[in-house]
Structure 1
Amino acid sequence: MSLPPELAELVDDFGAVGPKDRLQLLLELSQELPDLPERYADAADTMEQVHECQSPLFLAVEVEDGDDRPVHLFFSAPKEAPTTRGFASIMVTGLDGQPAATVLAVPDDFYTDLGLAEAVSPLRLRGIAAMLARIKNQVRAATA
């Protein structure tokens, strides 16, 4: 599997603990989701909504110019949606700052290796898959 080092480390962290601890790890990550910069203060107007998520989640992707085309991710999710925020935090921790080609090479189903199927519902897992799909779509559009 082709994962950037930060994302591979998260997959390893989740794989090293049991299902209950995976959920706890996800909840801890939810508290680490960075605040939005001012330019995204009105998330509904400035960001793309991920409708597959059970909670309102908005994302924005910025791709820098240059050789590697580094990708930057921004998410808005309510504090009372820790699972959604945890998934967003996984994306930020694992993909933010990575070259566009690296982000596009992440397998669409990488999240299955997090082992969260025993801890969260399939509907919630569909949300993380949708986040990655939208990130990739925005990266493709920005690099076309």
Structure 2
Amino acid sequence: MTDSALPEALEEIRSDFLAVGQSERLQLLLEFSNELPELPERYQEHPDLFERVAECQSPVFLFVEVDQDDVVHLFVTAPRESPTTRGFASILVQGLAGLTADEVLAVPDDYPQTLGLTQAVSPLRLRGMAALLGRAKHQVTLKRQAA
């Protein structure tokens, strides 16, 4: 993966993970899980808009907006009882914030595997993380086609 393709916020998050040892990486992921933003009020009563990420063991749902300036807004729900999944959802929400559709689509698909978490979380969880990114990118593509 080339670092030039990685948006600054995602690169900074990755650097934070790689700067600490294995046990601290899991702790950092748990800290991210506490930072997942609540849904805006306009979406709290509209679960029908959200897509289930079936690859995740936990019930994770996401919705993407692409505004008139082509900026992507990612909204994700994940249960508090699933801190690793919730942590990665938070990483994506924070790391993709303010990016254009082209920048989001350019994020390497293997980004979850580059965080140094392969020893800390199961391969199944890493697949779920990759699926969350993939579905976000898919929704961006669909929104662009509909515009």
- Could you tell me which residue of structure 2 aligns to residue 62 of structure 1? 65
Question: After superposition, what is the alpha-carbon deviation per residue over 1:53-74, rounded to whole angstroms, capped at 9, x for unaligned?
Answer: 11100000000113xx100000
Q: How many residues align?
A: 142
SS at match of 1:118: coil
- The reply to whether residue 41 of structure 1 matches residue 28 of structure 2 is no
Match in the other structure for 1:130? 131
Q: Which residue of 2 aligns with 1:104?
A: 105
Task: Tell whether 2:82 aligns with 1:72.
Answer: no
Does residue 25 of structure 1 match 2:16?
Answer: no
TM-score (norm 2): 0.93
CA distance in 1 between partners of 2:46 and 2:127 (Å): 22
Deviation at 1:143, TM superposition (A): 1.2
- TM-score computed with the length of structure 1 as normaliser: 0.95
> 1:40, CA displacement in angstroms?
2.0
Letter of the 2:114 partner, please give it: D
Amino acid in the other structure paired with 1:100: A
5+ long unaligned stretches in structure 2: none
Change (3 A) 1:21 1:3: same
Aligned CA RMSD, in angstroms, stands at 1.0
Partner of 2:140: 139
- Contact 1:43-1:58 at 8 Å conserved across structures: no
